[in-house]
Structure 1
Amino acid sequence: MEKENSKLEIFCVTNKRLKFLENLPYKLCWVGPFEAPQNYLRSDTGINIFAKEKYYSELTFQYWYWKNMLDLKNKNWIGFCQKRRFWSKENKDLNNLNADITKDILIHPKKEWENYESIICDPIFINDIKKVKMIKRGYKSILKNPLPFFSKKKRTIKFHFDMHHGYGNLDKAIDALDNKDRNEFKNFVNENSSFNPHIMFISKAEIMNKWFQDLFEWLFECEKIFGFEVLKGYDTTRLYAYLAERYLSFWFKKYTKNLNWKWIFYDSQDI
């Protein structure tokens, strides 16, 4: 049963029009190089990092929201989703989606949240890797430590990140992290084989503010290491978003009482 008096504000970040959401109480948020549709929130006004959108992806809007819209007096639940990934209405696996996807996605806060401070995506596991791919993309890691080649338990967040987003980049980034999290986050990525994906979360304003403070302070330090010119292709163009995705899993587990929640992949054909 949902609490009648509680409210949920969902901001859906997109670079394409999502007509099927336009009649829902979602706030549609525009990123990307093209002109925003009418009534979509833009992220190129006020205090913004819009010029870095290519590298920060949906974080471009989240930063804008933090600097220009976040009200610490707001007592509602506030959350983010993105153009192809949405919060599920119920925290259970859906075998088949409704023809009308809006019947399956979250609109109102849930009673199950009452004793929690944050909602994060159900985790994904990244240790089911074909050996041929490990040889092709992870040979540097395997030469240093061959155990991941033979044991799924040793295929950690760090091993996966080194394979797909630049060998050693995660270690360099963690070295730039504040002392209060550095060693614990390093242990987290070296010991875990799953993380909570998509930079999606739901929380109250006070927690959101603390998260954004820690996140962007770190990412701006990372800019001094990686810059932008060398970030190219799938592997590293969105490096700052990939880093944030891993840090989110650690941060919300360390600093909040969190609940994992189901999410839905849906690729709208709206044009």
Structure 2
Amino acid sequence: MNQKIEIFILTHKKFDEQYDSNLYKPLLNGSCMLDDDYGYIRDDSGENISNLNKYFAEFTGQFWAWKNSDADIIGFCHYRRWFVRNLKFDKLTKKDIINDLSKFDIILPQKRRLNGTVSEVIQDSLKINPDYGVKYEDYLILGETIKEDFPEYYTSFQKVMNSKSAYYNTMFISNKKLADNYFKWLFDIFKKVFDKIDLSKYPKNNKRVFGFFGEILLNVYVLNNNLKIKEHYILFNDRKFPVFDVLCRRFPKLVSVETRLVSLLS
């Protein structure tokens, strides 16, 4: 069967990375607030929540794809983060994706190991920069909402928050049916939490609360549904040395080494 596959490149600006345009589709997030769409798909067409982009970040694009794509398989990368199949940083092809999903339920980025639990890392980060990320009390509201309204997921939520590794970047590829079920669950949670959080306490440049929540919740969904995972390396093309992103995901203490190296060579 000739399966239709759409991998959406989530972006908020024009970018120059080369890609197979038959497979990869640029999707402009928050396009209702932008003057130019650069010829990309807009997330304010069809059924959409583009006007909530400052709170939902890339999830306005993912919502658009959920509601408007008719592909058999959908997925998401970012304008600066791409799934690759090797350390030559060759982007995934249609053949790669079909082969992976014949054996696995979902394709995810290489899992990131942490220097503490997810919960500890969040709290430590807030001590360093209290104006970046989600206030810890709002993660507690997220947990309580899951406990009350989605109790079958609460144990998995606790396990994710107490884990010393996680899948980050809100990137995945799966068949559309699995994606539909995931997004229905995800946006049901978002809807319930939205009215419980005081978003006015967040600074103008850091209101993307649900973007951070989504990273955690993808882990919860995958764990709770016991999905069979295929991991792939990520090309993070903002890094001076992209291979360091691969290494830092496995060995988190290398982050400081990379910082010093970039400083010496810049």
Range into which the TM-score falls when normalised by the shorter chain: 0.7 to 0.9
Q: Specify the SS of the correspondent of 1:47.
A: coil
Conserved 8 A contact 2:156-2:224: no
Distance in 2, matches of 1:114 and 1:250, equals 23
* Partner SS for 1:39: coil
Which residue of structure 1 lines up, in the alignment, with residue 136 of structure 2?
Answer: 167
Deviations 1:126-149 (A, max 9, x none): 31xxxxxxxxxxxxxxxxxxxxxx
- CA 1:116–1:250: 2 relative to 1, 3 Å: same
Q: Is the 8 A contact 2:100 2:107 kept in 1?
A: no
Please identify, of 220-229 and 115-124, the stretch whose mean Cα deviation from structure 2 is larger: 220-229
Structure 1 equivalent of residue 228 of structure 2: 257
**Of 82, 86, 92, which aligns to 1:86?**
82
Q: How does 1:21-60 map to 2 (within 5 A)?
A: 21=18, 24-25=21-22, 26-32=24-30, 33-60=33-60
Structure 1 equivalent of residue 12 of structure 2 = 15
Match of 1:70 in 2: 69
Separation in 2, partners of 1:77, 1:45: 21
Match of 1:207 among 178, 191, 197: 178
Which of the numbers 83, 90, 94 marks the counterpart of 1:108?
A: 94
8 A Cα contact 1:13 1:58, kept in partner? yes
CA drift at 1:47: 2.3
Would the alpha carbon gap of residues 216 and 85 (structure 1) be closer, same or farther in structure 2, given more than 3 Å must change? same
Q: Which residue of 2 aligns with 1:144?
A: none
Q: How many residues align?
A: 222
1:240 counterpart (206, 210, 231): 210
TM-score by length of 1: 0.74
Percent of pairs identical after alignment? 24
Unaligned runs of 5+ in 2: 127-133, 240-266
Aligned amino acid, residue 70 of structure 1: S
Give the 3-state SS of the residue equivalent to 1:180 in structure 2: helix
Are residues 1:220 and 2:217 paired?
no
- For the residues of structure 1 that align with 2:191 and 2:170, how far apart are their CA atoms? 17
Within 2, Cα distance between the matches of 1:176 and 1:108? 38
Q: Is this contact kept in 2: 1:78–1:202, CA < 8 A?
A: yes
On the 8 A contact 1:78/1:205 being kept in 2, the answer is: yes
* Greater RCO (CA < 8 Å, at least 6 residues apart): 1
Query: Structure 2 vs 1, CA of residues 46 and 53 (structure 1 numbering), >3 Å: closer, same or farther?
Result: same
Provide the rounded CA distance (Å) in 2 between the counterparts of 1:31 and 1:113.
27
Rounded to whole Å, the distance in 2 between the matches of 1:17 and 1:202 is 23
Give the secondary structure class of the aligned counterpart of 1:35. coil
CA contact (8 A) 2:122 2:136 kept: yes
Provide structure 1 residue ranges, at least 5 long, that are not aligned to the other structure: 98-103, 128-154
Q: Which amino acid aligns with 1:218?
A: I
